[in-house]
A and B are shown apart, each in its own frame.
Chain A
Amino acid sequence: MTILTVSTTIIVFTLKIFDVVMVMTGGQYDTEVVATQFYRQFFMYRNFGYGSTLAIVLLIAVLPVIIINLRQFRKQGGF
């Protein structure tokens, strides 16, 4: 049960990782992550629409993880 909590948290945090990637490679050499691409598009190229879309994509990517988690809660009678 705690394993589920921790793995959900870690998965969500890893999907949005930004600072490590930005500092180590700056997103070059094929190491782009969603968050670095968001930063590049939103703050550097001023593509506000593109950046916002990336943020929404990140949100959608996390939804399955959350849904699985909530289903587990319901099974255990907590929800």
Chain B
Amino acid sequence: MKLIFEKSVKARDGYSLPKDLFDEVNTKDCIPEYAVSDSKKVLSEVSEVDVIRHFTKLSKFNYGVDDGLYPLGSCTMKYNPKVTEKLASLDNFIYAHPLAPEETVQGCLELMYDLNKLLCEVTGVDQYTMAPAAGAHGELTGVLIMRQHFVDHDDKRHKLLVPDSAHGTNPASATMGGFKMIELKSNERGTVDIRRLEELMDEDTAGLMLNDPNTVGLYDEGMQDIESIVHGKGGLLYYDGANLNASFEIVRPGDAGFDIVHLNLHKTFSTPHGGGGPGSGIIGVKEFLIPYLPTPIVAFDGEKYYFSDVGEKSIGRVRAFWGNFLVLIKSYAWILSMGPDGLRNVSETSVINANYVLAKLKKYYRPAYDRYCGHECVLTGRDYKKYGIKTLDIAKRLMDYGFHPPTIYFPHFEPYAEETIMVEPPESESKEVIDEFIDAMIKISNEAKTNPDLLTGAPHNTRIRRVDDVLAVKRPILNYGDELKLKDELKYKDEDINF
């Protein structure tokens, strides 16, 4: 598609400004000579109509949840309610300045206060910080809370256990938080290897970061042992909330011994992913860890809501202001729409959906572990290697059937979880949609054997064909300026850019 810069026409404009530009104020009195730009910065010159058509066209090259099934494992791509979008765009919220006097933002503060109470009840902890902007941001916050807790107790723990099945963000967060990451290998059932945990969990180790269900989609049957081993050595248990969708009213992480609980409001609590964000990756803790939370938290004195400083033991701030407030509104509204029965229904339905997919497809795509799963199941494409088919090809072929592919190649650990296809059909997917997906997957398994070219050349029906990501690394073009410098080498024809 043409870039906005290629649609630019000299002297065309798309802005609207007041007539009064304070022309009597001398520019030289505003900007000192040393700061005057050498030249005007060239952006683009397009009209509002051009902009609307350009971005409308761009949007049509995207696939969203409203287009159909988006079964990305560990991403919980559920339906995003429309009413919550409207409620998050009320004037009194979007025009609220984050440093406006507290008496003018009682609504914002009440909402954050109430949301905290609801989430504490749902997850079994005592206090949340609303600051973290995304999952990894929450992880960093959680790991820093661990670090601060041990510093405060004059305890020099420097290692942190992370299972091999963890998200890439977990190991990176452990490092960013100043710990040496120790990988904990899973056992042959896909869960924490208790013997190995016993060996590794020592008094130099701060604790364990864990998903439950874990990234292979399995509830950990050893949770009781895990809890007593980690706590027995004075360590802390960190809950990665990526998979909470399987647990509403079934098991609360706080009750299962987790001290620090992370939630992804943009997964479990229905707020949209926005093509990569904004999300909200808030962190809840048990009472003894409240003094280490990022400052401040919202408090209530019986009459008014106010920001309360956490105190000198706080890890400090992890961002400016208070949190991704608009995302908080949406998740709050979603919880109120669901109620306790609705929340339970979410988990029941998503667990049934995933097990249904597993039951129907395990003949065709050998599962990483053949046992009941939580809200996602991990299949593999390893039996198709002999036909020259990679899991990537299966994923790309699914696009031709009108589906977004599941998560592929993650988790990855041999010998069980390789060539993985992690399917998460959230509660908002009907049986009919799931059946269509299952049919497509079965058709693809046949095609892999009878007509593998169909897969290796896929996708065929999408607006663009398979993308060369190796070339992107070999010859980096990271903005339009880079492209212009390589113009002679690239030699784009009109049909290459105008489609």
A-B interaction? no
